[in-house]
Amino acid sequence: MSEDTNIQPLDPKESNVVHSQEYEEQTLEFYTGQFPHPSILVEYENIVPGMVDRIVTLTEKEQAHRHTIEIMETQAQIGDTKTIRTFEMRGQTLGFILFLAVISFAGYSLKIGSEGVAIGSIVTAFIGGVTIFVKGREAEKKTDN
């Protein structure tokens, strides 16, 4: 044997042993975004000419549609909020007018000498106001959670 080679003679005891190695390679590619990876787009274009343009056009249309839907949802939410606030203001105004009417009635009842009616009116107005205030606070807590 020549001295410049790296091959070593096998030991006679190990001559029947077979050494083998197996390698397995796995490749995982993951792409995110609106379009496939450029190499995949090239393959699409090779299979069906004009496919990339169709994919881009479809993606642009979908994005425009999503934007339109989001704008419509936002406008609807704004409209709902304005309507709710209008109803709340009307309710508060009418409640205040009713409260003033009950207090005026109580004052008139005192003037004509009906203390029992006056006290009943004031107590009723007070209990009604407190009840509405407490229920309003409970409703605010529920919407905050």
Question: What Cα–Cα distance (Å) separates residue 100 from each residue in 104, 108, 123, 133, 136?
Answer: 6, 12, 13, 17, 20
Q: What is the DSSP letter of 24?
A: -
Q: What are the residue ranges of helices labelled H in the chain?
A: 38-47, 51-111, 115-144
pTM of the complete model beyond 0.85: no
Question: In tens digits, what is the pLDDT along the chain, a chain of 145 residues?
Answer: 455 567 776 666 655 656 677 888 888 877 787 778 888 889 999 999 999 999 999 999 999 999 999 999 999 999 999 999 999 889 888 888 888 898 899 999 989 988 999 999 889 888 888 888 777 777 777 776 6
Tokens of 19: 């050494």
